[in-house]
Structure 1
């Protein structure tokens, strides 16, 4: 089926070929629980996690960082399960799920908020992967030209991304085993090489359990807060017989290991060496040339698995919705847009603080949207959606729901005021206000229809 929208009769997709993604509700589910777990594991090995870990040097000690990561990942797992229920039950993507709360036109606001960070991370991680490949080439053949590798690496990812979720499934399933063993190896290599420095700088220091600690949990949470919005894009691919408790277990068991290893490695090596460039850090931790090459190839491969799952699908679906183009064209456009994010600037030492600020800032927008979607689906609609109305551009969800826009704006204000814990601070104000506005704002009356 190549149609990107469905008529008001809500025709359901019962089969899809490779690369044939659609915004229509789908009955076909291509991922069993293990495939889904491996997809998330491969998709969560983010170099951004490493950078965030590096940024906590001098703020938290080793135990506090471990606990901050654990808390952040627990919140992530529960949040993903909650907001993914609509997609899992009805087979609809995020762009359609958001229509009942924001309206057909209003949905473009959360789509933009979700897509911009994805494209930025796409470019950032592609540059990291290209740097790893460049260092492999320099080590083995004496040839170094990062621009050649960056351009080639980006087009490789574009080629893989057009395969859609069938390609994602097999790429992540095959790559996850390599990724987890590589992470374990690098973790213990870092401890072996920098044990004394880690003990002095991270274990035998006081740190803090105050506001900076909770800010640290939000930084790790913020890396995945984008996926909390569009989790329905993924949960619609998971088989129906996987219940909520099992879903939380899948999310936790995939996200926690990747985040824990990457965040702790970033913290430990940066505290020992003062270096925040991931490529330099990993290369300094490995003395054997063969193992260095394997480690660098892991870094490059991890960027592919993360980008294809997390940074291509959301903006591609947004482009499909706005411009009525097919998935393959959208995926190519997303890959080309990533060139314009200037990732070579983002990886500089002086950019580490700016990257953390970027995460905090866009988390200020993501928290309110998450709260609105959850209140809309669970509280107002009691987990019941009218699929025909969600696909009727002239129906009750036409235009913009000002209740959602106002609630989002107020939530953003709270998030910016309490910037250290922006995601947490925005949830209650935006969620409660959205509920009240949906009950009492006259212009929101038609959006209450179900």
Structure 2
């Protein structure tokens, strides 16, 4: 291909082209993330911090949750800046770091967990619906309801981001008021037990506290990695630094409520599963039905926004399918992850810990390349050039995230933080002092 042919490449035909229709204003974006934040993960994180599973008291757990979630808002904004500025998804943002071929590894590292999350949360949502139909209509068939639950999400996914925006904006109000009400009911009915088990407990400000901060941040590391998939649809009139405020509003208050519900009820019942948790805490009451409806609805909103979109973009990059076809396929593929096996506390925790190590490393490589090597300047034409400098494999990025992830896995309780500096350092040293993948220096401070 000649230089003239390269420069005339029609980006508009690329399924992953820069977003030219920004459908999210600040309010819609914030509401979408409030609705998209609700998942079984934050219940489990809260439950894991306090006895019998953890070693923190109520104050320590509160501060750990607040710190971890606030850090999440910051790192989301940092990594999502190129997506917002240039309208590009994660799989395009990552091309300079890994190459169009090498990107398949980090893309799969993001896409496969998204499918797993989608399956697990669909199973939990279906379990909530099954509990409702069993109590109200005496119909108890989890498999049938799971299939229906999956099919509903497949239909909704076909509508694309506009359909997701619609259901998120409606669902957020149901979710928020349900969370506040559940917190009130639990504190009112079980205040004495909470005081004895959590407030009077000595706890620890040492490593368990630091690990709790990591866990509070860790359950969102998948979202941090591909946040550009969402920020690319935010209106250009919104300044990128201001999105940190939107992220904080969206992530912190609701997740603080959910984490606190998880830890309070876990201290009372010993359960982390939200279905069992509410069934034991609020047996045979209208509040239980409302809570189960809330859980079911929350899984749909979270699945569509947090899990389906990134998995679909990965499949689009690998197969060149359009979103309206890739999204329903991903919904079906999620069933093949056997979510009913993973939705147990042991497998669930292991899954989160392993993912966190890899996503910390990927985040470090992306940030190092964009902010330090390229000084926040990307060439859209170069990013989308099928025969440009970012084709093939950038071995420096692959080696760097491998080193960072391995170190993170060694210190699994704080894996996200531990993986950052080794990844950035290895990536910098390989770029500055070796001749590995030299074409990827195009547009960086190392270009000769």
TM-score where L is the length of structure 2: 0.94
1: CA distance between counterparts of 2:384 and 2:348?
38
2: CA distance between counterparts of 1:428 and 1:119?
29
2: CA distance between counterparts of 1:304 and 1:261?
19
2:44 is equivalent to residue 51 of structure 1: yes
Instruction: Pick from 178, 187, 190 the counterpart of residue 186 of structure 2.
Output: 190
Aligned to 1:3: none
Instruction: Pick from 394, 402, 414 the counterpart of residue 421 of structure 1.
Output: 414
The Cα of 1:11 is off from its aligned counterpart by 5.1
- Distance change in 2, residues 1:13/1:45 (3 Å): farther
2:139 is equivalent to residue 140 of structure 1: no
2:407 is equivalent to residue 411 of structure 1: no
| Partners of 1:46 and 1:302 within 8 A in 2 | yes
Aligned to 2:423: 430
Aligned to 2:80: 84
Aligned to 1:18: none
| Partners of 1:10 and 1:24 within 8 A in 2 | no
Per-residue CA deviation, residues 44-69 of structure 1 (Å, 9 max, x unaligned), is 01111101222223211111111111
- Distance change in 2, residues 1:418/1:321 (3 Å): same
Aligned to 1:282: 278
The 5-angstrom pairing of residues 156-235 of structure 1 reads 156-235=152-231
Instruction: Pick from 99, 103, 108 the counterpart of residue 112 of structure 1.
Output: 108
1: CA distance between counterparts of 2:320 and 2:416?
32
1: CA distance between counterparts of 2:354 and 2:205?
23
2:312 is equivalent to residue 316 of structure 1: yes
Aligned length: 435
Aligned to 2:31: 38
The Cα of 1:10 is off from its aligned counterpart by 6.2
2: CA distance between counterparts of 1:127 and 1:287?
21
Ranges in structure 1 where 5+ consecutive residues have no aligned partner: 1-6, 15-20
Aligned to 2:60: 64
2: CA distance between counterparts of 1:143 and 1:177?
29
Partner secondary structure for residue 192 of structure 1: helix
1: CA distance between counterparts of 2:12 and 2:75?
27
- Distance change in 2, residues 1:43/1:237 (3 Å): same
| Partners of 2:312 and 2:327 within 8 A in 1 | yes
- Distance change in 2, residues 1:8/1:419 (3 Å): farther
2:368 is equivalent to residue 375 of structure 1: yes
Aligned to 2:18: 25
Per-residue CA deviation, residues 378-414 of structure 1 (Å, 9 max, x unaligned), is 1100111111111122111111101101111110122
Aligned to 2:89: 93
Per-residue CA deviation, residues 409-432 of structure 1 (Å, 9 max, x unaligned), is 110122012111000000011012
The Cα of 1:201 is off from its aligned counterpart by 0.9
Deviates more, 1:198-207 or 1:352-361: 352-361
| Partners of 1:407 and 1:430 within 8 A in 2 | yes
The 5-angstrom pairing of residues 262-277 of structure 1 reads 262-277=258-273
The Cα of 1:376 is off from its aligned counterpart by 0.6
The Cα of 1:333 is off from its aligned counterpart by 1.6
| Partners of 1:47 and 1:262 within 8 A in 2 | no
Partner secondary structure for residue 246 of structure 2: helix
The 5-angstrom pairing of residues 223-372 of structure 1 reads 223-286=219-282, 289-347=285-343, 351-372=344-365
2:435 is equivalent to residue 439 of structure 1: no
Aligned to 1:4: none
Aligned to 1:17: none
| Partners of 1:407 and 1:431 within 8 A in 2 | yes
Partner secondary structure for residue 240 of structure 1: coil
1: CA distance between counterparts of 2:346 and 2:207?
17
| Partners of 1:320 and 1:330 within 8 A in 2 | yes
Cα RMSD for the two superposed structures: 1.6
Ranges in structure 2 where 5+ consecutive residues have no aligned partner: 1-5, 444-448
Per-residue CA deviation, residues 54-96 of structure 1 (Å, 9 max, x unaligned), is 2223211111111111111111111110111111011110000
| Partners of 2:110 and 2:222 within 8 A in 1 | yes
2: CA distance between counterparts of 1:186 and 1:313?
30
2: CA distance between counterparts of 1:163 and 1:285?
38
The Cα of 1:13 is off from its aligned counterpart by 6.0
The Cα of 1:345 is off from its aligned counterpart by 2.6
- Distance change in 2, residues 1:201/1:10 (3 Å): farther
2: CA distance between counterparts of 1:442 and 1:408?
18
Aligned to 2:389: 396
| Partners of 2:40 and 2:273 within 8 A in 1 | no
Partner secondary structure for residue 341 of structure 1: coil
- Distance change in 2, residues 1:223/1:8 (3 Å): farther
2: CA distance between counterparts of 1:124 and 1:64?
29
